[in-house]
Amino acid sequence: MIALSLAEISQVVDGALHLAGACAPSDLVNGSVQTDSRLIEPGSIFVAKPGAVTDGHLFAPVAAAQGAAVLVVERLLDLPVTQIVVVDAVAALGALASTVVARVRAAGTLKIVAVTGSNGKTTTKNLLRSMLERVGPTVAPRGSFNNQVGAPMTMLEVTDDTRFLVIEMGASSEGAIANLVRLARPDVGIVLTIGLAHAGEFGDLDGTVRAKSEMVTDLLPTDVAVLNADDPRVAQMAAITPARVVRFGQYGQVDVRASDVHSGRTGTTFTLHLADGQSAPVVFPVLGEHHVMNALAAAAAAEVLGVSLRDIVAALQATTRAERWRMEVLGGKDDVTIINDAYNASPDSMSAALKTLAQIGIPGRRTIAVLGEMAELGELAGEEHDRIGLLAVRLNISQMIVVGQRARRMHISTINEGSWDGESAYVDTPDEAFELVRNSVNPGDTVLVKSSNSAGLRFLGDRLGDLFS
């Protein structure tokens, strides 16, 4: 974090400053800001955030013992360390992040780009970071830091030298993205897709559209909205944003597009066309044709921010995987390929993964889909799991292995299709699935492991990858 005095921090978070020992209001703090006491280093700021499972105040003694310079708390604690008492620790974290970013922006050349969408946020964020790092110092989230805590934590990593800040914005409710946009004030806002991911939280697609639209409605006329023209729900946001619109896609009239797209077991090739008329061939090692849209979104934003075509292409060609546990290619022994894509799952991403599996399977060898629950679908869960089961049949996947009671309807849907030449098995646990794959896989087979994070199949994917490595 940039250096701020204790008095400044207290004022920014609207808190009461309680000094300890020889500390003075003018003392400067420039250490990291943490909500996890295990990450505290001497000089850090510890924000004692109440949580659904535990309370950060319980870990404040650990933070103090590890050298925290100041604690941001919701109640004064009996600890020999300077504390700032606030009404809401999460709101205080956001206010501090907003102030830090605003000061760095005012003092230099900081540009901010924010990404949202039902699918592809983390991949797009990673691609953008790779592109922007070729131009100047860039800060981007670790993992999927995209909520009301994670996004401010990323913002607080900027320094006076930071040139680009990439923020991933997720939404657990309507108003969440709007709040993050107000905190960060992005120069570029990207909307990738509108799908059924988290439909249970918003009730229906209309609620999801309203939530994701918050990315562009508060942009300024001098800002840029980067919109997926191939998604009608995203494309219509052009009418509700005051910002300049840059469209990306593979069809129709768009500013940034891909042509000659060909996917295989080693990735995807395509020709990238930028808004300025330049184009270049791209060999994109990330598996799955659906990731081309994420590449286009990142390229569109990077072009807006002044990145050259050469650097954009170089970043894409240097990217070997979307992210840990996202279309991650493992295995290799006996020509067995394991695709571990079990960090997140929605109907859209599950469909895309199955289509990729069908597309890249070796002719004459089997394709095996090990599938778990798609979480957070609410009342739509049953019919969407049915639909995925039917899609596997339509794609002629050789074998389905469905894991866990909440995913069982995929198994039922497949076995009810009498015309299918494949087979489906149901097991309760990842361990059972591991044994089933280990005992049935043949040389040359391609195995997809796909589920929501909560199903825990990402570790099954790792085990299978190790088995065939």
Whole-prediction pTM: 0.89
- Burial degree of 265 (CB within 10 A; 0-12, 13-18, 19+): middle
**What mean pLDDT do residues 35-39 have?**
94
Residue pLDDT, tens place only, 420-450: 777 899 999 999 999 999 999 999 999 999 9
The answer to whether the annotation marks 228 as part of a ligand binding site is no
Number of residues that make up the chain: 469
Alpha carbon separation from 162 to 132, 167, 252, 426 (Å, rounded): 11, 14, 37, 51
% of the chain with per-residue pLDDT over 70: 97
Are 71 and 12 contacting, i.e. CB atoms less than 8 angstroms apart? no
Please state the three-class secondary structure of the chain as a single string.
CCCEEHHHHHHHCCCEEECCCCCCCCCEECCCEECCHHHCCCCCEEECCECCCCEHHHHHHHHHHCCCCEEEECCCCCCCCCEEECCCHHHHHHHHHHHHHHHHHHHCCCEEEEEECCCCHHHHHHHHHHHHHCCCCEECCCCCCCCCCHHHHHHCCCCCCCCEEEEECCCCCCCHHHHHHHHHCCCEEEECCCCCCCHHHHCCHHHHHHHHHHHHHCCCCCCEEEEECCCHHHHHHHHCCCCEEEEEECCCCCCEEEEEEEEECCEEEEEEECCCCCEEEEEECCCCCCHHHHHHHHHHHHHHCCCCHHHHHHHHHCCCCCECCECEEEECHHHCEEEEECCCCCHHHHHHHHHHHHHHCCCCCCEEEEECCCCCCHHHHHHHHHHHHHHHHHCCCCEEEEECHHHHHHHHHHHCCCCCCCEEEEECCHHHHHHHHHHHCCCCCEEEEECCHHHCHHHHHHHHHHHCC
Residue 454 backbone dihedrals phi, psi, to 5 degrees? -65, -20
pLDDT band at 76 (very low <50, low <70, confident <90, very high): very high
> Could you tell me which residue, 375 or 46, shows the higher pLDDT?
46
The answer to whether the annotation marks 120 as part of a ligand binding site is yes
Residue 99 backbone dihedrals phi, psi, to 5 degrees? -65, -45
Distance between CA atoms of residues 76 and 83, nearest Å: 7
Q: Is the dihedral of CA 266, 124, 322, 314 positive or negative?
A: positive
C-beta atoms surrounding 200 within 10 Å: 15
pLDDT band at 202 (very low <50, low <70, confident <90, very high): low
The answer to whether the annotation marks 414 as part of a ligand binding site is no
Are 165 and 139 contacting, i.e. CB atoms less than 8 angstroms apart? yes
Domains and CATH numbers, the chain: 4-87 (3.40.1390.10), 108-317 (3.40.1190.10), 328-467 (3.90.190.20)
In this predicted structure, the answer to whether residue 401 has a pLDDT above a threshold of 90 is yes
The answer to whether the annotation marks 109 as part of a ligand binding site is no
pLDDT of residue 20: 95
Token pair for 69: 């310079």
Distance between CA atoms of residues 44 and 27, nearest Å: 13
Distance between CA atoms of residues 35 and 186, nearest Å: 24
pLDDT of residue 196: 64
Q: Is the dihedral of CA 197, 202, 208, 211 positive or negative?
A: negative
Residue pLDDT, tens place only, 309-331: 999 999 999 998 777 778 898 99
**What mean pLDDT do residues 75-88 have?**
97
pLDDT of residue 354: 96
Mean pLDDT (the chain, rounded): 93
**What mean pLDDT do residues 99-115 have?**
95
pLDDT of residue 421: 74
pLDDT of residue 197: 54
* Residue corresponding to tokens 């957070």: 376
Are 251 and 240 contacting, i.e. CB atoms less than 8 angstroms apart? no
The answer to whether the annotation marks 44 as part of a ligand binding site is no
In this predicted structure, the answer to whether residue 372 has a pLDDT above a threshold of 70 is yes
C-beta atoms surrounding 304 within 10 Å: 21
The answer to whether the annotation marks 123 as part of a ligand binding site is yes
The answer to whether the annotation marks 389 as part of a ligand binding site is no
Token pair for 462: 């790792």
* Contacts with 261 (C-beta within 8 Å, 6 or more apart), sequence order: 250, 268, 269, 270, 289, 292
* Residue corresponding to tokens 């540009």: 111
pLDDT of residue 373: 95
Which of 299, 210, 203 has its CA nearest to residue 249?
Answer: 299
Residue pLDDT, tens place only, 269-309: 999 999 999 999 999 999 888 899 999 999 999 999 999 99
